[in-house]
């Protein structure tokens, strides 16, 4: 090409095989070109070829494969958010007329998705107290095709007995899907315990830097084949750039989780020493640690509004898992739409705070909490 306008658009960087980039390039393109019709036809016979980014892209595929590898899963797919990944997995298993079972203390956004969208789609959704022996078995019906749960529940951090849940499900030939967002594959790998599907809001610890909105679903080939079709059909794909950013964050997952977990354990210990504060922090998540989330209830002894105002550098954010320590208020955010009786039963109270402990020195976090608690104490 000889004209500036044409060269500015079609300038070639060089043949792909001639480049040896240390990191995967960003394939920020909506589609891929073909030399002729035979080349186009090769897309449908060669798994390594790409045609249209909604169908697949090197960046999104790399993210899916990386998480699948960490989860010991055969296959994966990256999506536009954690919620879209959940929906893709569920729609791979259930159909109108089916029944699915979820724990009472599931994340509020998931509760809404299941009880609103799925019920409109003629899927029956029931909750059960998964922490009570025999409750899951008692709630199963002849139409039950999926049991959904979380490795750690949000926001009270109950560690699910995945072995028990999976054993009950397999006894009835029911698929199991696990949200492993809080635990991450660093601490727990549900696939190794027999789960069929594992989902992540990769917006959280997988990405780790609060700059992407991404989901990842991994699982067995049987269910992933169907889930990938749902992602394509419903346009749930994530952009190449966000997938690239998430992969960049994922590379430091292990070191982040170790330090953030250590910091969270220190913060939980401090909070347990404070008068009138009830602490929710697991002690049985894994041999590597117990995660970076700490929830606590200030009860009647503290003014909750004053506490949030006096947190200094700790931000109030309705999400989690970044490198910075943040807090959220479940009653008015993540679990706002949960029915009041269920809120009360679960312990989603006016004094409940969910803290995502970051990478700062744990002493800094404890000092900020000490100041806020001392001012808020009645």
Give the predicted TM-score (pTM) of the model.
0.93
What's residue 350's pLDDT? 95
What's residue 135's pLDDT? 96
* Secondary structure class of 28 (helix, strand, coil): coil
Q: Please say if the pLDDT value at position 198 is more than 70.
A: yes
Angle at 153 between CA 100 and CA 218, to 5 degrees: 60
Residues making up the chain, counted from first to last: 378
Q: Please say if the pLDDT value at position 213 is more than 50.
A: yes
Query: For all residues of the chain together, what is the average pLDDT?
Result: 92
Token digits of residue 159: 């560690």
Average pLDDT of 88-107? Answer: 97
Measure the CA–CA gap between 145 and 94, rounded to whole angstroms.
6
Instruction: Tell me the percentage of the chain whose pLDDT exceeds 90.
Output: 83
What's residue 140's pLDDT? 98
Residue 4's pLDDT band (cuts 50, 70, 90): very low
Tell me, letter by letter, the H, E, C secondary structure of 70-136: HCCCCEEEEECCHHHHHHHHHHHHCCCCCEEEEECCCCHHHHHHHHHHHHHCCCEEEEECCCCCCHH
Token digits of residue 311: 């947190």
**b/e string for 350-378 if b means 16 or more Cβ within 10 A?**
ebbbbbbbbbbebeebbebbeebbeebee
Domain 253-376 class in CATH = alpha beta
Residue 44's pLDDT band (cuts 50, 70, 90): confident
φ, ψ of residue 265 in degrees (nearest 5):
-60, -40
Average pLDDT of 331-352? Answer: 89
Q: Where are the domains of the chain?
A: 37-250, 253-376
φ, ψ of residue 338 in degrees (nearest 5):
-65, 135
Task: Write the DSSP symbol of residue 52.
Answer: B
Measuring CA to CA, which residue among 152, 139, 153, 146 is closest to residue 106?
153
Residue 16's pLDDT band (cuts 50, 70, 90): low
What's residue 8's pLDDT? 44
What's residue 47's pLDDT? 64
Measuring CA to CA, which residue among 270, 247, 275 is closest to residue 325?
270
Range of lowest pLDDT (1-5, 74-78, 114-118, 201-205): 1-5
What's residue 19's pLDDT? 57
52: left (phi over 0), alpha (psi -120 to 50) or beta: beta
**CATH number belonging to domain 37-250:** 3.40.640.10
Please write the tens of the pLDDT for every residue from 268-282.
999 999 999 999 999
Q: Please say if the pLDDT value at position 6 is more than 70.
A: no
Residue 38's pLDDT band (cuts 50, 70, 90): confident
* Secondary structure class of 65 (helix, strand, coil): helix
Q: Which CA distances in Å does 177 have to 165, 171, 286, 300?
A: 10, 15, 19, 38
Average pLDDT of 87-101? Answer: 98
């Amino acid at each position: 090409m000889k004209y500036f306008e044409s060269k500015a658009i079609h300038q070639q960087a060089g043949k792909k095989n001639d480049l040896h980039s240390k990191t995967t390039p960003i394939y920020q393109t909506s589609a891929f070109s073909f030399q002729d019709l035979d080349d186009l036809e090769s897309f449908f016979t060669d798994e390594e070829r790409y045609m249209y980014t909604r169908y697949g892209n090197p960046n999104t595929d790399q993210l899916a494969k990386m998480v699948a590898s960490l989860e010991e899963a055969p296959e994966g797919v990256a999506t536009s958010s954690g919620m879209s990944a959940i929906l893709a997995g569920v729609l791979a298993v259930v159909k109108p007329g089916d029944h699915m079972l979820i724990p009472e203390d599931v994340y509020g956004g998931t509760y809404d998705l299941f009880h609103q969208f799925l019920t409109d789609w003629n899927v029956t959704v029931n909750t059960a107290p998964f922490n009570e022996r025999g409750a899951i078995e008692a709630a199963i019906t002849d139409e039950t095709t999926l049991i959904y749960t979380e490795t750690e529940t949000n926001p009270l951090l109950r560690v699910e007995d995945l072995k028990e849940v999976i054993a009950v499900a397999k006894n009835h030939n029911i698929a199991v899907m696990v949200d492993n967002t809080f635990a991450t594959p660093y601490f727990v790998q549900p696939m190794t315990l027999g789960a069929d599907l594992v989902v992540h809001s990769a917006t959280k610890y997988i990405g780790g830097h609060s700059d992407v909105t991404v989901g990842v679903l991994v699982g067995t080939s049987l269910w992933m084949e169907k889930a990938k079709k749902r992602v394509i059909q419903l346009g749930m794909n994530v952009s190449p750039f966000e997938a690239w950013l998430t992969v960049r964050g994922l590379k430091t997952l292990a070191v982040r989780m170790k330090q953030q977990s250590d910091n969270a354990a220190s913060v939980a210990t401090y909070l347990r020493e404070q008068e009138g504060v009830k602490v929710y922090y697991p002690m049985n998540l894994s041999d590597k640690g117990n995660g970076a989330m700490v929830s606590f209830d200030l009860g009647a002894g503290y003014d909750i509004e004053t506490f949030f105002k006096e947190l200094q550098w700790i931000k109030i954010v309705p999400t989690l898992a970044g490198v910075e320590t943040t807090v959220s208020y479940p009653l008015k955010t993540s679990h706002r739409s949960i029915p009041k009786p269920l809120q009360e039963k679960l312990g989603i109270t006016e004094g409940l705070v969910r803290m995502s402990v970051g990478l700062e020195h744990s002493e800094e976090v404890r000092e900020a909490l000490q100041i806020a608690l001392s001012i808020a104490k009645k």
